[in-house]
Amino acid sequence: MHRAILFVLWLFVATSAQAATCEDLVRLRLDNVTVLSAEAVPAGDFHTPLHFGPRPPAVALPDHCRLRAVATPVAGSRIGFEVWLPVKGWNGRLKMFGNGGYSSALPYAQLAGGLKDGYAVTATDTGHQGDDPDFAVGLPQTIVDWGHRAVHLTAVNAKALLRTYYGRPANHSYFEGCSTGGHQALMSAQRYPEDFDGIIAGAPGNNRTRLNIGFLWQFVANRQQGSLEPVLTAARLPLLKEAALAQCGTVEDRARGYLENPFMCKVDVERLRCRGGTSNSDCLSEAEASAAARMYAGASNPRTGVQLYPPWLAGSETGWSQYWADPRNPSQPMRGNFFRFWAFNDPVWDWHTFDFDRDVIRADRALAGVIDATNPDLSRFAGRGGKLILYHGLADPVVSPWDTRRYYEAVRQRSGTATTHFARLFFAPGMGHCGGGPGPNVMGAQSVLERWTEQGVSPDFLPALKDGKVHRLCHYSVEKSVCSGLIDHNQ
């Protein structure tokens, strides 16, 4: 009996101890990877590096091994990444967090939160430094890194480092991201289906080339020929949002302050037009009404009439000004350097010359195959048991929820009713871009995804928090919903 107890204690110590020390990992040889540092970090408060906005509160982290590494798969590529490994209490899972926009900043707040919850965590700088597409000037391989290679190689090498440290692989690997992170999520499912067992994709800007064409359309539609000044200013946008709620909202919508289903709303701009040639704060001038109508219609080919990128939904109007011009130079469109240095390789490119017929084709040819994640064929991901949760706020002024809906419907058309076995979409009424807004806006997707991936419990609802109350978002179905609307009001 005494020997049996000793054996059990020995087995526990042997299986819980690390197979290698943190410092050992500096000497680990991986293909085209250099571990720059391996730091045994004692338990203590972690302060997230401040990039913008108020500094978040410190996070109390456990003892962990913090690795900084760089991958150089081809000439002109330098992909930085970090891996944080808990010394004790590892839950057996690896979780990678996505990025935002074109920024190289690592999502340190999410890394800290994941580590605190027992995950081994990782993230990448996507192969560059900076937050503007001009990082690709003279470095074309960085576009490939940003488009898909950086996340993939980070996942592969994080798994190798983890396996060496613990002496065994992770039981499951997960990815979570929103906006560009959502784009990365879908790219992983499509192009590298073996990288993650479960994926959370929020507000995925996966139709990236056309998304930027949508931003350019908003900029051009809001200017009169020969003028650099916007026709509709940010101060006028609340009038549009109020009109959307008044024209399309139910009694309950008006009480809540947002539309539950803005997909059903088509704002009649004519009702906002000033009468008798007057102009005041309660109505739109002729020019303002025309600009609003063009923006509500969305980008289209002037020759064929084919939609190039879907419009943003009614109820998102007050956020349109965030992306219709470059905040550092309002006389230029948002993401102008995307066209200069990525699409056309022309540093003197002028937005006045853009042709929404010919130049769209040029941009697609140059970039779609490298950076767009629009392939609806997820059969390889589904075939290995992968699970995908998509979510999108319906008051998002940055990525159109129409685009996410249409992508999911394309997956459904490709895979049929089997789609719900591996991919489910949830819309969050009243939520802005990746959060914020008057509706439920803090997603509780990770635990739901783990139950689905590890236990086979498919989710009909996704919990979302607002003001301390948990709401249940309903699974969107092409054919029918599991509840009467997009939120379960009978919970």
Report the catalytic residues. 179, 396, 433
Q: How far apart are CA 116 and CA 26, in angstroms?
A: 24
Contacts of 166 (CB under 8 A, 6+ apart): 18, 19, 85, 90
398 torsion bin: left (phi>0), alpha (psi -120 to 50), beta (else): alpha
Residue 328, φ and ψ in degrees, nearest 5? -85, -20
One-character DSSP codes across 2-17: HHHHHHHHHHHHHHHS
Q: What is the DSSP string of 284-317?
A: B-HHHHHHHHHHHH-EE-TTT--EEEPPPPTT-G
Q: 72 to each of 77, 78, 80, 107, 131, how far by Cα in Å?
A: 5, 5, 9, 21, 21
Q: Which residues pair with 201 in a beta bridge?
A: 177, 390
Structure tokens given for 446: 């990770």
Of 269, 375, 372, nearest to 317 by C-alpha is: 269
Closest CA to 259 of 401, 417, 438: 438
Q: Output DSSP code: residue 272.
A: G
The CA-to-CA distance between both ends of the chain, in Å, stands at 53
Helix (H) / strand (E) containing 438? none
Q: Whole-angstrom Cα distance, residue 488 to residue 491? A: 6
Residue 70 contacts residue 78 (beta carbons within 8 Å) = yes
The single-letter code of the amino acid at 137 is: V
Which residues, listed in sequence order, are joined to residue 462 by a DSSP beta bridge? 473
Q: Which residues contact 58 (CB under 8 A, 6 or more apart)?
A: 45, 46, 47
User: Looking at residue 421, what DSSP letter applies?
Assistant: G
Phi, psi of 334 (to 5 degrees): -65, 140
- Rounded distance between C-alpha atoms, residue 291 and residue 271, angstroms: 14
Task: Give dist(CA 239, CA 272) in Å, integer.
Answer: 9
Q: Which two tokens stand for residue 122?
A: 């990782």
